[in-house]
């Protein structure tokens, strides 16, 4: 998988002066566009589109400073239909316009070319199981919140605090299947998973599809499918965020599965020990194309 991903990175370099077809990148990497975007973001720490923009502006910046072409020629070569659009993109990356950069020889930002490698440390292993789950109903309260990669998410904390104990208890009582009790659910994430992009956050329980839903609660039917269930114990929320990272950067590249659209479920409970949390993370998966049955 890592080798094919690096072949896709080579293709990006070959196409910096023309439109890059993400479907072709996904074909080279032998995965879906959806999974490619999510996996790239987890591995690289930035969305695929942002990496392409930075690389394109890096090589365009070199041409601007070289002075061999007019600024409009450089803009057109890298896919911009006007000098103004090129100048905006150039300034967003380099902090200075192309005209000023050429006149003054300003220092520009450089996005290094990326490649990926799998580092096996052997210091820890991931506990997981694969579960086939029938259709179920997600019932609870949801809110649209920004994504935060590290530390407590203030928007989620405020949302949960506003639910109230009585409503939280009613949600808990609706639970009738695994993962049991109240779970945290992330759904409808931006494919880039970039910091600050929005997602639907649910404080909810899993119930039968025919369960009666109170008028003041939100609900969503989740189709039957396959889930990878990961377990961890550690300090909250660091251990959970590291587990999410490791799933996408270590587990997926090493196993014959890929992520599929669907809500990600997180069940947490206090663990023995000071400030420790036991967690189960349910990720919707499907067998990767070409994987042995």
pTM of the model: 0.58
For residue 186, give the 3-state DSSP assignment. strand
pLDDT tens sequence across 96-129: 889 988 888 776 777 778 877 655 443 445 567 7
- 127-287 fold: Multidrug-efflux Transporter 1 Regulator Bmrr; Chain A (3.20.80)
pLDDT tens sequence across 163-195: 988 999 999 999 999 898 999 898 888 777 677
Ranges of CATH 1.10.10.60 domains, the chain: 2-104
DSSP state of 181: S
Give me 7's structure tokens: 């072949």
Q: What does the alpha-carbon distance between residue 227 and residue 138 come to, in Å, rounded to a whole number?
A: 15
CATH number for the domain whose boundaries are 2-104? 1.10.10.60
172 — phi, psi (to 5°)?
Answer: -60, -40
């Amino acid at each position: 998988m890592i080798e094919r991903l690096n072949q896709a990175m080579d293709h990006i370099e070959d196409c910096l002066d023309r439109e890059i077809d993400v479907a072709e990148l996904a074909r080279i990497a032998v995965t879906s566009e959806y999974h490619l975007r999510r996996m790239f973001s987890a591995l690289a720490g930035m969305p695929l589109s942002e990496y392409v923009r930075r690389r394109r502006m890096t090589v365009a910046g070199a041409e601007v400073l070289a002075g061999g072409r007019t600024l409009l020629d450089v803009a057109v070569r890298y896919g911009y239909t006007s000098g103004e659009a090129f100048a905006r993109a150039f300034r967003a990356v380099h902090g200075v316009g192309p005209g000023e950069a050429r006149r003054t020889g300003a220092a520009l930002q450089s996005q290094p070319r990326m490649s990926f490698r799998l580092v096996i440390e052997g210091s820890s292993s991931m506990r997981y199981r694969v579960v086939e789950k029938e259709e179920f109903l997600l019932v609870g309260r949801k809110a649209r919140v920004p994504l935060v990669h590290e530390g407590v998410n203030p928007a989620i904390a405020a949302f949960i605090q506003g639910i109230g104990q009585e409503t939280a208890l009613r949600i808990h009582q609706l639970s009738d299947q695994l993962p049991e009790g109240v779970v945290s659910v992330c759904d409808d994430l931006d494919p880039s998973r970039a910091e600050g992009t929005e997602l639907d956050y649910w404080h909810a329980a899993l119930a039968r599809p025919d369960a009666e839903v109170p008028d003041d609660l939100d609900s969503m039917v989740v189709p039957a499918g396959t889930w990878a269930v990961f377990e961890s114990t550690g300090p909250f929320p660091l251990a959970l965020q590291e587990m999410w990272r490791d799933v996408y950067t270590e587990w997926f590249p090493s196993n014959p599965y890929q992520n599929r659209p669907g809500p990600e479920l997180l069940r947490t409970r206090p663990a023995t020990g000071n400030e420790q949390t036991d967690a189960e993370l349910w990720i919707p998966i499907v067998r990767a194309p070409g994987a042995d049955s």
